[in-house]
Amino acid sequence: MPGGRHVEAVSDVRFDLAPGQCLALVGESGCGKSVLASALLGLLPGNAETAGSARLADGLDLLAADERTLARTVRGRRIGLVPQSPAAHLTPVRTIRAQLEETVRELAGVPKAALRAAAEAAAERAAFPADHLDHHPHQLSGGLAQRAATALALVGDAPLLLADEPTTGLDRDLVHRTVDELRAHTRDTGRALLLITHDLAAAERIADTVAVMYAGRIVELVPAKTFFGKPGPRHPYARGLLDALPERAFTPVPGAPPELGALPAGCAFAARCPLPPALAALAAPGGPPADRDCRTRLPLLTEGVACHHA
C-alpha cells in the first residue's frame, strides 16, 4: 500500500502442483510472479495483506502460518528456495563448504564428525565442483554461484522446490544445464518444482504445466505440451509471448502492462490485445461493440483460459 494506496499485486491465483511435477509460472517482469513466491514463503513486507489459502500436502496453510512456524518448519525444510540472485543469499565472508556444513547441520541434523562428507555430498547433488568448495562467493562465476545456492536449497529434502528466476544472468548453455539438473532432480526425488521465470525456452525444457500471469492474474493454465505444441495457447497475451521468442516470429507484444494500482474494470490486456479490431467486424450494425465485454467485464479463468473470446 504505497502512500496509503491499495495495490492488488496478485489476485485469484489458483493451481495445484503434484509431487514430481514442474509448474512454470511465466510472464513479463512486474506481473506478480515474485510477489507470489514471497507470499508462499511469508516474506512479504509488513504492510502487505494476504487472503485465501496456500496448502501443502500435509495440510499446513502457508498464508495462515505465523513467522515462527515458517522460519522453523517451512523455509528450507518444506520449501527449498533456489533464489534469483545467489550472491544475495550466499554469505560473502564464509566459504561454500562452511555454508553447506552449517546448513546440513541445521536442516538435516548431521553430527559434527560427518559434516564434511555431508557437505560434499550436497555439493555433488547440485553438480558443484568439489575443488571450489573452499572458495568464497566472490571467487565464483555466476553459474557456480547459482549451483552453490541450488546445493543449499536441496539440503533439507524439502518436498517443494521454489526456483525464482534461477537462470537470470546465465548464458544459454548454463541455462540448459541448470534446468536439466533441476528437472532430473525433481523426477528422481519426487519433489514438486515451482519454476518462476520469464524465460519461455527454459520453461519449455522443464515444465509439465505452464501458468501464464498477466497484471497479477493467471490468464492461462495448460499442460506444457499443449502450450508449446498443438494447439498452442489460446489467450492473446500467451500467444504474444510465444511469438516474441527469437526462434519464432520474434514479434514483441506492443504496449506495456497497466499499473497494478490502476487496473481497468474489464480485461487488463484489452489495451494491448490484437483481437478488438477483428471483433469489430463481428458487431451487429447499430448494436454494441463486440469487445464491450473486454472493456467492462473481468474474464475469469475457465477451462484453462481467462478470455472472453479465446
Instruction: Quick: pLDDT tens for 86-105.
Output: 877 899 999 999 999 999 99
Place of cell 527469437: 246
> Rounded to an integer, what distance in angstroms lies between the CA atom of residue 163 and that of residue 57?
19
Query: 25 in a domain, yes or no?
Result: no
| Beta carbons of 105 and 115 less than 8 angstroms apart | yes
Residue 126 pLDDT exceeds 60: yes
Q: pLDDT tens, 247-294?
A: 776 677 888 888 888 888 889 998 888 876 655 555 555 555 557 888
Residue 137 pLDDT exceeds 70: yes
Strand 192-197 and strand 217-223: the pairing is unpaired
Number of domains in the chain: 1
Query: 119 in a domain, yes or no?
Result: yes
Segment 32-56 shows an average pLDDT of 91
- Mean pLDDT highest for which of 144-153, 161-170, 173-182, 285-294? 144-153
Query: 136 in a domain, yes or no?
Result: yes
Query: 173 in a domain, yes or no?
Result: yes
Q: Tell me how far CA of residue 242 lies from CA of 15, 30, 169, 235, in angstroms.
A: 22, 18, 21, 11
Residue 15 pLDDT exceeds 90: yes
- 3-state percent helix, strand, coil for the chain, nearest multiple of 5: 40, 10, 45
Q: Which residue has the higher pLDDT, 169 or 60?
A: 60
CB proximity list for 299: less than 8 A, separation 6 or greater: 219, 266, 267, 293, 306, 307, 308
Query: 283 in a domain, yes or no?
Result: no
Q: What is the pLDDT of residue 254?
A: 81
Q: pLDDT tens, 214-252?
A: 999 999 999 999 999 988 999 999 998 888 777 776 677
Nearest to 25 by CA among 257, 217, 310, 298: 217
- In this prediction the pTM is 0.87
Taking the alpha carbons at both ends of the chain, their separation in whole angstroms is: 33
Element (H, E) at 180: helix 172-189
Query: 300 in a domain, yes or no?
Result: no
Q: What is the pLDDT of residue 277?
A: 61
Segment 13-33 shows an average pLDDT of 92
Percentage of residues of the chain with pLDDT beyond 70:
93
CATH number, domain of 56, equals 3.40.50.300
Burial code of 1-34, b = ≥16 C-beta within 10 A, e = fewer?
eeeeeeeebbeebeeebeeebbbbbbbbeebbbb
> Rounded to an integer, what distance in angstroms lies between the CA atom of residue 56 and that of residue 79?
9
Q: What is the pLDDT of residue 242?
A: 87
Residue 301 pLDDT exceeds 60: yes
Query: 109 in a domain, yes or no?
Result: yes
**Average pLDDT of the chain, as a whole number:** 87
| Beta carbons of 210 and 221 less than 8 angstroms apart | yes
Q: Domain containing 76: what range?
A: 31-206
Place of cell 502492462: 257
Q: Tell me how far CA of residue 210 lies from CA of 98, 199, 213, 304, in angstroms.
A: 37, 12, 10, 10
> Rounded to an integer, what distance in angstroms lies between the CA atom of residue 205 and that of residue 247?
14
Looking at residue 64, its amino acid is A
Query: 183 in a domain, yes or no?
Result: yes
Place of cell 501464464: 212
Place of cell 480485461: 267
